[in-house]
Amino acid sequence: MSQDFRLNNIGMVNRNKKISFIFNGKKYFGYEGDTIASALIANGVHLVGRSFKYHRPRGFFGVGVDEPYAILQLERNNERDPNIRATEQEIFEGLEVKSVNCWPSVNFDIGAINNFLKMFFPAGFYYKTFMWPPSFWYKIYEPFIRMAAGFGEASIKHDKERYEHKYEYCDLLITGSGPSGLASAYAAAKNGARVILAEDKPRYGGSLLTSDVNIGNQTGIEWSEKIITELKSMSNVIVKNRSQVFGYYDHNMLVMSERISDHLPKTQKYLPKQRLWYIRAKEVLISSGSIERPLVFGNNDTPGVMLSSAAKEYMKVYGVLVGKKPLIFTNNDSGYETAIEFKKNGVNPLILDTRKEPSSDIITEAKNLGIEIKFSYVVVAAKGYKKVKSADIAKISDNKKDLSNIENIECDCICVSGFWTPSIHLASQSGNKSEFNEKIDAFIPKKSKQKENTIGSANGKFTLEETINEAFDKGYEVSNKITENNNKVSIPTVVEKKSTQHDKFWCVPLPKGKSYKRFLDFQNDVAVTDIELALREGFRSIEHVKRYTTLGMATDQGKTSNLNGLQLVSDIENKVVPQVGHTTFRPPYTPVSIGAIVGREVGKHSKPTRKSPMHEWHEKNKAVFVDAGVWLRPRYYKQGNETLFEASKREAKNVRKNVGVCDVTTLGKIDVKGPDAAEFLNRVYTNAWLKLPVGKARYGVMLREDGIVMDDGTTTRISENHYHMTTTTAQAANVLSHLEYYLQLVWPELNVNVVSTTEQWAGAAIAGPNSRALLMKLFPNTDVSNEGLPFMGYKEADLFGIPSKIYRISFSGELAYEVNVESDYGNFMWEKIIEVGKEFQIQPYGTEALSTLRIEMGHVAGSELDGRTIPHDASLEGLVSKKKDFIGKRSLSRSAFTKPDREKIVGVVPLDKTTSIPEGSYIVKDPKAKLPNPKLGHVSASCWSVEYDNPFSLAIIKDGKNMIGQKLFAMSPLKNKTIPVEIVSSHYVDPEGKRVRG
């Protein structure tokens, strides 16, 4: 298609580079530097979407972040990207976009029937409709709402693009590179401050790109180019375009989203798609400018109605005409600048000015150019469905209440200007309570809440001279607080056209007998009648009106609608706007992709992966791994076609029969040192520690202050003032914090230090009847006999030249040892154990066999110590000292913890000796009892006992100690199973503990 609306001698796009792209299946051409919006408008395309509620045709309203409705879905590298503003997304070769919220197509949209059913879609229709009958919810109402809700469709495929995060620190962050941003950045940078200047558009300069002004004897564009070039060359300045500072958080932390590759056909090899910057700024200057306000009239949402500033920017920046028969509808001088630009490009506009007899330089200039102007005139309604074809215009009375001389005139676009709204979103996010400024009929920031200042038109300064002066001063003043360089640059002189007072009038009354929809919020389809209805129904607080009508919500955050909504509420309520107040602006200011927020913390990268030094050996020997917290542990070692069940049974059996070796590096290890270490352990653990001799280990249980078991493990006295504590894999970090808490805050008088040594030691548990024989071969120079190294003994030894530590402790219930060496020797140790162990039929075993072994021995682990059990429940009450005090002791005498029928751990065996009991099953007396069936407790862990070759489970049940021998039922509603069971002792194998001591 030809670009019928492209101007030849104006604009900043690269005419030498033609780019093709596809919109709704059709190919179009534009130039490098075009946005989707400018390229489509150049091709005369204005219909790009359908509105949210009524599915009315939607075109372009703005030219950047102000755009409320040209939201498209983008396809790039076979990825779908919803929520793309056509006014921000630059085109690239091969770009594919399509409209959203329409079916089957944007031209013929079934949902548009809503437009004719609009009496059924009043404010709050979600709350009023879909209420009855209740049975309609799941099958009819909900699917309908789900289909109708939201813009676009997110891809369900994995996003292959890379997103990055970056942390940056600076003296001064400046948000926006318009005249105030440039001037303040320049003044601050010259004064030695470290400055970040962020611009959301591809081009720097803001309003200078489109305004007819002169700074220091240069045009606005020349001046901005000069300043940017100089800033870029300075080492203390970071200048970023396509970068939106979207959130202002606590303690001057701002977050900026940089679109690095969104405008390129393919992400470059070493570049991410987007980068999220976390910026901690000592000071912030908010120079985010202002957004033109719409005027409200009938059908003001018709494609072709747009902001006059947008029309001007399409001409000056993109060389594109939004129409060839423009109607300018304004209440201030800004509309004239657009009209003059049309005229300069050979198009004759008609200006309708709501004011009676305004006069200013710019109005005179328009008159001199021969532009037709009608004063005290308004647009009553736009005509045309998919594009403006004409407009009903009328003379308005001096009191702005009555319309007369209504006539229809032909036009193909209506450029509106209802004056300007400062973008105070960031200031509001920082906590700044804004104040209403009568002069500009808008809110401006009040007192700074954090270290932030707002400058330029965002602060209600609408003349360039004021803006430049304020920005240079602020840039110097703020930077000098930090650098104290006193280096002040001179302020250039500014030449601009003087404008006159705007009209406070903004909403055109309806002519008699007409019921045109007059829209306030274009994104959320909120019309004047919706606000009126909400107020009639009794909503008063502006925050309630917002939520009931959806005014100013969603991705738009009320950029164009907020003030008109407030004006309307205050008009109806006979209040002034400041009495109504405004709603809170929330981050993000513009939509941010989830990918950017997540960054590289995706999948396995969402947390660190910890591997033991023996990991490679496990991999080579067909280990199947399981996540244990952030550790990867072998679950079982697969031989041939073995299943998990077969392999773990084989491994566990081999431990009971011969000898097995298990990687226990992941256990938490904490060094406890100091003259008061014994006293400290005595307070931390429930059992007694003062008399533990050097060279001996002891099993201990620690509680939280509420009496619940926190962790268990063995601690060994290495020397007089040195203990080696082990914790469970999962609780290692918590236990260290817990110990530090008590040492630093509760008992600082104790002379003890703790430090994690988890990663310093590699550990191998050697378990089984052959383990001593194996140890004798591994440590020929050390006495590892039952007398030389008794149960719970500890020895330092020499493993083929490597210093190692042997702890005679057992989790499997077999004769067992744990050997530790420094991590770097872990693999050496492991390979030696396997090599020497061959003649004793050694096999490595994983966590599944480890569980089997501990379950049938009745040893408790995380599934029993689940944050709900006290020592008694886990049959650990024998370890609770009655003589001494310790953390959590007082809680154990609370009534619930001392009830006679308190839960206790038991063993559970199915009567048929074949049906495995699902973990989590309830234990009940009567499986047919009326629901909710009173449960006695739950099954915490299940295994296949290799000792007896039948299923065995542990359960924690009410009055457990008196239940042994009873026939009960295990019920699993999840697995739909009811299994008759017998309650037995939790110590299913070797209850006297002969093996570990043998």
Partner 1 sequence: MLYIFCPHCGLRSQNEFAYGGDATVKRPELNKEISDQDWDNFVYLRKSPRGKHLELWHHISGCRQWIKVERDTSTHEIFKTYKADELTE
Stretch that binds partner 1, among 146-154, 244-252, 771-779, 830-838 (CB under 8 A): 244-252
Rounded (to 5) percent helix, strand, coil in the chain: 25, 30, 45
CA–centroid distance for 339 within its chain: 44
CA distance linking residue 369 with residue 335, whole number of Å = 15
For partner 1, the closer of residues 449 and 722 by Cβ is 449
Write down the least CB distance from residue 748 to partner 1, Å: 6
Residue 278 interacts with partner 1 (CB under 8 A): yes or no: yes
Out of 435, 573, 885, 912, the residue judged to bind partner 1 by CB under 8 A: 885
**What tokens does 931 get?**
């629901």
Q: Which amino acid is at 487?
A: N
For partner 1, the closer of residues 147 and 746 by Cβ is 746
Q: Vertex 865, ends 863 and 867: CA angle to 5°?
A: 105
Write down the least CB distance from residue 715 to partner 1, Å: 20
Number of residues that bind partner 1 (CB under 8 A): 25
For helices 528-536 and 562-572, give the axis angle rounded to 10 degrees: 40
Sign of CA dihedral 528, 529, 530, 535: positive
Write down the least CB distance from residue 756 to partner 1, Å: 9
HEC per residue, 634-673: EEEECCCCCCHHHHHHHHHHHHHHCEEEEECCCCEEEEEE
For partner 1, the closer of residues 298 and 871 by Cβ is 871
Residue 235, phi then psi, degrees to nearest 5? -75, -15
Write down the least CB distance from residue 553 to partner 1, Å: 25
Do residues 185 and 283 touch, judged by C-beta distance below 8 A? no
Out of 348, 757, 863, 891, the residue judged to bind partner 1 by CB under 8 A: 891
Do residues 799 and 832 touch, judged by C-beta distance below 8 A? yes
Adjacent-strand bridge partners of 306: 415
Out of 252, 345, 863, 978, the residue judged to bind partner 1 by CB under 8 A: 252
Residue 280 interacts with partner 1 (CB under 8 A): yes or no: yes
Stretch that binds partner 1, among 51-59, 591-599, 733-741, 835-843 (CB under 8 A): 733-741
Write down the least CB distance from residue 609 to partner 1, Å: 18
Residue 29 interacts with partner 1 (CB under 8 A): yes or no: no
Write down the least CB distance from residue 895 to partner 1, Å: 8
Stretch that binds partner 1, among 796-804, 812-820, 888-896, 943-951 (CB under 8 A): 888-896
Write down the least CB distance from residue 356 to partner 1, Å: 48
Q: Which residues contact 238 (CB under 8 A, 6 or more apart)?
A: 168, 170, 195, 196, 197
* Positions in 444-483 near partner 1 (CB under 8 A): 449
Residue 397, phi then psi, degrees to nearest 5? -70, 165
* Positions in 51-70 near partner 1 (CB under 8 A): none
For partner 1, the closer of residues 505 and 897 by Cβ is 897
Write down the least CB distance from residue 592 to partner 1, Å: 16
For partner 1, the closer of residues 884 and 958 by Cβ is 884
Write down the least CB distance from residue 885 to partner 1, Å: 4
Stretch that binds partner 1, among 250-258, 388-396, 410-418, 582-590 (CB under 8 A): 250-258
Residue 694 interacts with partner 1 (CB under 8 A): yes or no: no
Write down the least CB distance from residue 706 to partner 1, Å: 5
How many CB atoms within 10 Å of residue 249? 14
Stretch that binds partner 1, among 332-340, 663-671, 815-823, 885-893 (CB under 8 A): 885-893
Write down the least CB distance from residue 252 to partner 1, Å: 7
Write down the least CB distance from residue 189 to partner 1, Å: 24
For partner 1, the closer of residues 400 and 902 by Cβ is 902
How many CB atoms within 10 Å of residue 505? 16
> If we measure between CA atoms, which residue out of 598, 616, 619 comes closest to residue 607?
598
Helix (H) or strand (E) holding 594, with range, is helix 594-598
For partner 1, the closer of residues 609 and 639 by Cβ is 609
Out of 249, 375, 828, 840, the residue judged to bind partner 1 by CB under 8 A: 249
CA distance linking residue 46 with residue 60, whole number of Å = 7
For partner 1, the closer of residues 149 and 755 by Cβ is 755
Stretch that binds partner 1, among 113-121, 248-256, 259-267, 903-911 (CB under 8 A): 248-256
For partner 1, the closer of residues 247 and 713 by Cβ is 247
Residue 640, phi then psi, degrees to nearest 5? 60, -130
Range list of H helices, 358-452: 361-368, 425-429
Write down the least CB distance from residue 430 to partner 1, Å: 11
Classified as helix, coil or strand, 347 is coil
Write down the least CB distance from residue 449 to partner 1, Å: 8
Beta strand extents in 400-458 (DSSP E only): 403-410, 413-417, 420-422, 435-437, 442-444, 452-454
For partner 1, the closer of residues 743 and 909 by Cβ is 743
Write down the least CB distance from residue 866 to partner 1, Å: 19
Write down the least CB distance from residue 492 to partner 1, Å: 37
User: What mask, x for binding partner 1 by CB under 8 A, covers residues 422 to 451?
Assistant: ---------x-----------------x--
> Which residue's structure tokens are 């073995």?
642
CA distance linking residue 215 with residue 221, whole number of Å = 9
Residue 533, phi then psi, degrees to nearest 5? -65, -45
Do residues 871 and 879 touch, judged by C-beta distance below 8 A? yes
CA–centroid distance for 398 within its chain: 52
Stretch that binds partner 1, among 138-146, 222-230, 243-251, 337-345 (CB under 8 A): 243-251
How many CB atoms within 10 Å of residue 524? 23
Residue 894 interacts with partner 1 (CB under 8 A): yes or no: yes
For partner 1, the closer of residues 248 and 617 by Cβ is 248
How many CB atoms within 10 Å of residue 544? 13
* Positions in 808-867 near partner 1 (CB under 8 A): none
Adjacent-strand bridge partners of 284: 173, 452
* Positions in 699-728 near partner 1 (CB under 8 A): 705-706
Residue 690 interacts with partner 1 (CB under 8 A): yes or no: no
Write down the least CB distance from residue 958 to partner 1, Å: 23
Residue 757 interacts with partner 1 (CB under 8 A): yes or no: no
For partner 1, the closer of residues 80 and 280 by Cβ is 280
Residue 890 interacts with partner 1 (CB under 8 A): yes or no: yes
* Positions in 734-753 near partner 1 (CB under 8 A): 737, 740-741, 744-746, 748
CA distance linking residue 947 with residue 940, whole number of Å = 20
Q: Vertex 987, ends 984 and 990: CA angle to 5°?
A: 125
Residue 202 interacts with partner 1 (CB under 8 A): yes or no: no
Residue 141 interacts with partner 1 (CB under 8 A): yes or no: no
Residue 253 interacts with partner 1 (CB under 8 A): yes or no: yes
Q: Which residues contact 291 (CB under 8 A, 6 or more apart)?
A: 62, 65, 66, 307, 420, 421, 423, 559, 560
Residue 683 interacts with partner 1 (CB under 8 A): yes or no: yes
Do residues 227 and 202 touch, judged by C-beta distance below 8 A? no
Residue 360 interacts with partner 1 (CB under 8 A): yes or no: no
Residue 214, phi then psi, degrees to nearest 5? -140, 125
Which residues of the chain form contacts with partner 1 (CB under 8 A)?
Answer: 167, 249-253, 278, 280, 431, 449, 683, 705-706, 737, 740-741, 744-746, 748, 884-885, 890-891, 894
